Amino acid sequence: MSKPRLLITRRWPKAVEESAMEHFDVTLNDKDIPLDIEDMRHALKSYDAISPTVTDILNAKAFEVEDVSCKILCNYGVGYSHIDLPSAEKLGICVTNTPDVLSDCTADIAMTLMLMAARRAGEGERELRAKKWDGWRPTHMIGAKVTGKTLGIIGFGRIGQAMASRCHFGFGMKIKIFSRSQVSAELLKRYNAEQFSSVEALLSESDFISLHCPGGTSNRHLINASNLAQARPELVLINTARGEVVDEVALANALENRIIKAAGLDVFDGEPSINPVLMSSPNLVMLPHLGSATRETREEMGFRALENCKAFFKGETPLDKVV
């Protein structure tokens, strides 16, 4: 019996690609560049399974094809806002993701950004590399203390909880959260956390905000000029969720006018393009979407995608089925 045809849209760690080839008739994207709409339309007609990433365009137009061969999109990543789920479901295509395996590393990057932004690490490194440092002095590059401060977490899924664990138990931070669904009393008690009913209220009560909510239309510009105006002037904002969650023009304005103190971004709206307004913000730390970028996690993500795909073709319900 022939193996299902699987397109892997971006290069994976070698160990995972080798495992994929044992179970599937694999086509690799050797150019390792994002696929456009026409590429995806062709792929939907040519393969039994596709493993896309956040860089691939799978909007409603991409699904406007006839004679679809693809039966499953085993997404490489936990977020799937780049996939138009109603269109996939209409064509009878199963969609899976890879939760759990990247929670720790994404929380680690959020923690990295929070410390860097609070302690002005990016500015300090640029000063050293430019050979402009003239020695220690009491008033040089004063930042914000992290230990014991209040952290507001928006989105309290696996990654948000991993962030709460690091900050509460590691840095003695007070945890406050915003989530559209009611968080259980048991879970709140674990972190001595308080749930707020609005983003505005959370911003006004927090020294730091860390975003861990899904992307997509419902959360586009969840952080905007209106609610940033409600924030404490010492606020440090961290985004490792999705770029579209933050209105980047509003954020740049808030940073420039000291409406908030600093920010750290690992994701961007329209990445890999970076909005030019962000480039002139010295109190902004930026990383190139490194949230899950460890060998262990990137391998686990690939193996998890493969397990979902293998289960599907065995006639089983994939562990991480979205639709």
Instruction: For the chain, give every domain's residue range.
Output: 5-101+295-313, 103-286
Alpha carbon of 171 to those of 22, 120, 150, 165: distances in Å?
Answer: 45, 18, 10, 9
Half-sphere exposure of 298 (CA within 13 A, CB side): 15
Residue 271 annotated to the active site: yes
CB neighbours (10 Å) of residue 92?
9
Residue 190 annotated to the active site: no
The mean pLDDT value for 107-128 works out to 98
Considering the candidates 168, 190, 232, 289, report the single residue annotated as catalytic.
Answer: 289
Considering the candidates 205, 271, 299, 307, report the single residue annotated as catalytic.
Answer: 271
* Tokens found for residue 250: 């509003």
3-state secondary structure 17-28: HHHHHHHCEEEE
Residue 10 annotated to the active site: no
The mean pLDDT of the chain is 97
Among 3.20.20.70, 3.30.300.30, 3.40.50.720, 3.40.50.150, name the CATH number for the domain at 103-286.
3.40.50.720
In sequence order, what are the residues at sequence separation of 6 or more whose Cβ sits closer than 8 angstroms to the Cβ of residue 128?
none
Confidence band for 262, pLDDT divided at 50, 70 and 90:
very high
Amino acid at 56: D
Considering the candidates 242, 244, 298, 304, report the single residue annotated as catalytic.
Answer: 242
The mean pLDDT value for 11-24 works out to 98
Convert the pLDDT of each residue in 205-215 to its tens digit.
999 999 999 99
Dihedral pair phi/psi, residue 25, rounded to 5°: -85, 95
Q: What percent of the chain has pLDDT over 90?
A: 99
pTM above the 0.85 mark? yes
Convert the pLDDT of each residue in 134-173 to its tens digit.
999 999 999 999 999 999 999 999 999 999 999 999 999 9
Alpha helices in the chain (DSSP H): 14-23, 37-46, 85-90, 103-118, 121-129, 158-165, 171, 185-190, 199-205, 225-228, 248-256, 276-279, 295-313
How would you class 105 by CB atoms within 10 Å of its CB: exposed for 0-12, middle for 13-18, buried for 19 or more? Answer: buried
The reply to whether 5-101+295-313 and 103-286 are identical in fold is yes
Fold of 5-101+295-313: Rossmann fold (3.40.50)
- Say how far apart CA 8 and CA 27 lie, in whole Å: 6
CA 228: distance to chain centroid? 21
At 87 the pLDDT is 98
Q: Has residue 177 got a pLDDT over 80? A: yes
